[in-house]
C-alpha cells in the first residue's frame, strides 16, 4: 500500500488455492509502521473503496492497528471495522496465548535439538549451547527446552546472573557422573546483552575443562520452519473464518446512509486465543498489557511452566509449583428431625 504504484488487487478463489500447506508469507510483509504514511493510506483506502481491514502479522501488526485506530480522529477512512490475526513465530503478541507460526517454529527447534543431541550419542561428556530466536520473548527457548529435555533455558523475562550460570555448570558436572553424559542449554537471542552465546560457551568450556567439552549452535532462520504444522493449519483456518464472520457482522451493524462508519473501540479488535476460547479484544484495552520497549506482553502464561524444566532436569529445587490457595470447610446441612419424620 505504501509503495508506488499501490499493490492492491482483488484476490479470487483460484489465487489462494493450496495456500494452507505452504510456508512463508505469500501476501508479502513489511515492517514499516503506518504512522508516517497515514495520509497516503487514507487516500488509497478512499480510492479503492475499502470498507474493512483484516491485518495478519506479529507485533508490528498490533502497533499498526493501534496507530490506525488513533488516526480515526483525523481521517474518516479508518472508521471501518478492523481486525488483526496474530501470526508470528515469537508468540509475543498481547491478547493471545498462541499465534500462528509458533507451533511450526517449536517443531523445527525441537527436531533440530534432537538431531544435535543425537550427534553426541557416540561421544561422551558433551554440552550443547543453542541460541533460539524470538526477540525478547522467551517462549521458543522455554517451551522448546521443555520439549527437547534441556538442562537450562536462559530468557529475558527471568533475569539470571553469574551465580545461576555457575549453578548450571555445577549441575552439568554432576550429571556427567551419571549414565546420561550429554547436556543441552538453550539461550534466547536477547536474554542478556552481556551474557552472549559466545560468553556462555567460553564459560562452560573453561569451567567444564576436563569434565565435559562444549559446542555452540545458532539455529537462525532455519527455525522458521518449512510447511506449517497441522495445528497451525487448523488454527489459521479457524481464526480467519471467525474473523471474517466478525467483519461481516460489523459491516452490517455499521452500514448507515449508504456507507460504513464504525468509530467505537470494539470495531478495532485483535482476535486471540485465551485458554480455550477465541476472543475479540479491542486493541486500546490491550495497550496497558504491553511492554512496547521490549515488544512483549507484561504477563505471559508459559512462565508457569518453567519450574517443570528444573524438576525434569533433576535440579535440587522446590517441587511446589502449584498456585497457593486456602481450604474451606464444607458444612453439610443435615435435615432436622421433624423434617425427617415428615419425609418418612
Task: Please report the pLDDT score of residue 257 as a whole number.
Answer: 82
Task: Please report the pLDDT score of residue 342 as a whole number.
Answer: 45
The stretch 31-51 carries a mean pLDDT of: 90
Alpha carbons 188 and 129: distance in angstroms, whole number: 11
pLDDT tier at 302, thresholds 50, 70, 90 = very high
Percent residues over pLDDT 90 in the chain: 59
DSSP SS3 for 27: coil
- Rg of the chain in Å (alpha carbons): 26
Task: Please report the pLDDT score of residue 318 as a whole number.
Answer: 57
Task: Please report the pLDDT score of residue 331 as a whole number.
Answer: 66
Same fold, 26-100+228-296 and 102-226: yes
Q: Which three cell numbers stand for residue 22?
A: 505452504
Task: Please report the pLDDT score of residue 111 as a whole number.
Answer: 93
pLDDT tier at 1, thresholds 50, 70, 90 = very low
For the cut 70, the answer to whether the pLDDT of residue 220 exceeds it is yes
* Mean pLDDT estimate for the chain: 87
Of the listed ranges 63-77, 115-129, 198-212, 242-256, the least confidently predicted one is 115-129
Q: Which three cell numbers stand for residue 17?
A: 488455492
Q: Which of 154, 137, 141 is nearest to 113 (CA)?
A: 141
Task: Please report the pLDDT score of residue 28 as a whole number.
Answer: 83
What is the CATH T-level fold of the domain 26-100+228-296, as seen in this structure?
Rossmann fold (3.40.50)
- Domain 102-226: top CATH class: alpha beta
Of the listed ranges 21-25, 118-122, 215-219, 331-335, the least confidently predicted one is 331-335
For the cut 60, the answer to whether the pLDDT of residue 319 exceeds it is no
For the cut 60, the answer to whether the pLDDT of residue 338 exceeds it is no
For the cut 70, the answer to whether the pLDDT of residue 330 exceeds it is no
Alpha carbons 68 and 238: distance in angstroms, whole number: 25
Alpha carbons 282 and 155: distance in angstroms, whole number: 29
For the cut 80, the answer to whether the pLDDT of residue 203 exceeds it is yes
Domain residue spans of the chain: 26-100+228-296, 102-226
More confident of the two residues 13 and 321: 13
pTM recorded for the entire structure: 0.85
For residue 262, what is the DSSP state? -
What pLDDT, in 10s, does the model give residues 190-200? 999 999 999 99
For the cut 60, the answer to whether the pLDDT of residue 324 exceeds it is no
DSSP SS3 for 277: strand
Of the listed ranges 115-124, 158-167, 187-196, the least confidently predicted one is 115-124
Amino acid at each position: 500500500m505504501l509503495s508506488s504504484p499501490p499493490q492492491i488487487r482483488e484476490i479470487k478463489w483460484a489465487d489462494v488455492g493450496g495456500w494452507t500447506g505452504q510456508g512463508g508469507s505469500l501476501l508479502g510483509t513489511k515492517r514499516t509502521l503506518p504512522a508516517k504514511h497515514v495520509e497516503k493510506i487514507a487516500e488509497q483506502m478512499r480510492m479503492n473503496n475499502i470498507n474493512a481491514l483484516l491485518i495478519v502479522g506479529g507485533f508490528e501488526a498490533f502497533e499498526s492497528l493501534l496507530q490506525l485506530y488513533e488516526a480515526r480522529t483525523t481521517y474518516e477512512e479508518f472508521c471501518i471495522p478492523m481486525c488483526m490475526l496474530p501470526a508470528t513465530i515469537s508468540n509475543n503478541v498481547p491478547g493471545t496465548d498462541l499465534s500462528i507460526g509458533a507451533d511450526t517454529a517449536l517443531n523445527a527447534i525441537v527436531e533440530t535439538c534432537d538431531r544435535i543431541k543425537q550427534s553426541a550419542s557416540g561421544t561422551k561428556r558433551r554440552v550443547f549451547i543453542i541460541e533460539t530466536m524470538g526477540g525478547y520473548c522467551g517462549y521458543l527457548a522455554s517451551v522448546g527446552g521443555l520439549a527437547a529435555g534441556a538442562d537450562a533455558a536462559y530468557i529475558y523475562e527471568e533475569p539470571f546472573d553469574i551465580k545461576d550460570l555457575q549453578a548450571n555448570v555445577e549441575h552439568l558436572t554432576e550429571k556427567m557422573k551419571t549414565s546420561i553424559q550429554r547436556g543441552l542449554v538453550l539461550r534466547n537471542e536477547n536474554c542478556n546483552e552481556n551474557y552472549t552465546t559466545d560468553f556462555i560457551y567460553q564459560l562452560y568450556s573453561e569451567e567444564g575443562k576436563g569434565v565435559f567439552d562444549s559446542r555452540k549452535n545458532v539455529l537462525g532462520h532455519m527455525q522458521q520452519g518449512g510447511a506449517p504444522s497441522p495445528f497451525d493449519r487448523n488454527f489459521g483456518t479457524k481464526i480467519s473464518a471467525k474473523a471474517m464472520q466478525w467483519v461481516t457482522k460489523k459491516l452490517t451493524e455499521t452500514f448507515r446512509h449508504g456507507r460504513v462508519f464504525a468509530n467505537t473501540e470494539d470495531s478495532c479488535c485483535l482476535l486471540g486465543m485465551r485458554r480455550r476460547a477465541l476472543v475479540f479484544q479491542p486493541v486500546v484495552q490491550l495497550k496497558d498489557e504491553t511492554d512496547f520497549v521490549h515488544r512483549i506482553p507484561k504477563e505471559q502464561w508459559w512462565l508457569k511452566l518453567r519450574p517443570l524444566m528444573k524438576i525434569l532436569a533433576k535440579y535440587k529445587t522446590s517441587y511446589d509449583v502449584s498456585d497457593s490457595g486456602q481450604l474451606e470447610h464444607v458444612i453439610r446441612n443435615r435435615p432436622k428431625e421433624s423434617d425427617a419424620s415428615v419425609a418418612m
